[in-house]
Amino acid sequence: MTDCIFCKILQGEIPSKKVYEDELVYAFYDIAPAAPVHVLIIPKEHLCCLNEAEPAHKALLGHILLTAKKLAKDLGVAESGYRIVNNCGENAGQTVFHLHFHLLAGDTFSKLV
Ligand code: 5GP
Ligand code: ZN
């Protein structure tokens, strides 16, 4: 998608601080961290949000969660704990419409649910 910020990051048109990359996903530090550790994990395929995910994306979605687990370990927060957040749509506060999962850690978080 030409006007998508995260697609531009994937194409290297907008710089980002890479944490991890493989054939399916890219992970990078959030530009406005909401916690000491704040990483975004995105699929290389452009999906606006979870609403666009189909059964064909099952492996990709599983891979994203396992990547989050791996990065939590690599970043040294697996034991202390971390939170994975996906905001889907306006009411959830989604601001960038390329599917992404926040990996938040290094702090304690108030519980919404
Ligand atoms: P959302 O609010 O859509 O769930 O999350 C979007 C996230 O993307 C926000 O936490 C915001 O700080 C981050 N973000 C927006 N633009 C950029 C950017 O150009 N670079 C990086 N690294 N993060 C960005
Ligand atoms: Zn995109």
| Superfamily of 5-97 according to CATH | HIT-like (3.30.428.10)
For residues 20-44, give the mean pLDDT. Answer: 98
Q: Is 63 known to be catalytic?
A: no
Q: How far is the CA of 59 from the centre of ligand 1 (A)?
A: 24
Specify the residue with its C-alpha closest to ligand 1, atom 17: 31
pTM score of the predicted model: 0.98
Residue 2 is predicted with a pLDDT of 80
Query: Which helix (H) or strand (E) element contains residue 64?
Result: helix 58-74
Q: What is the predicted pLDDT for the residue at 1? A: 74
Sheet with 37-43, strands from edge to edge, namely 18-21, 25-29, 37-43, 101-105, 82-85
Catalytic member of 38, 98, 100, 102:
100
pLDDT above 90 covers a percentage of the chain that reads: 98
Mean pLDDT score, 22-41:
98
Measured at the alpha carbon of residue 33, what is the angle toward residues 27 and 38, in degrees to the nearest 5?
A: 40
Q: So where are the chain's domains?
A: 5-97
**For the residues 5-29, what does the mean pLDDT come to?**
98
For the segment 34-87, what is each residue's pLDDT rounded down to a tens digit? 999 999 999 999 999 999 999 999 999 999 999 999 999 999 999 999 999 999
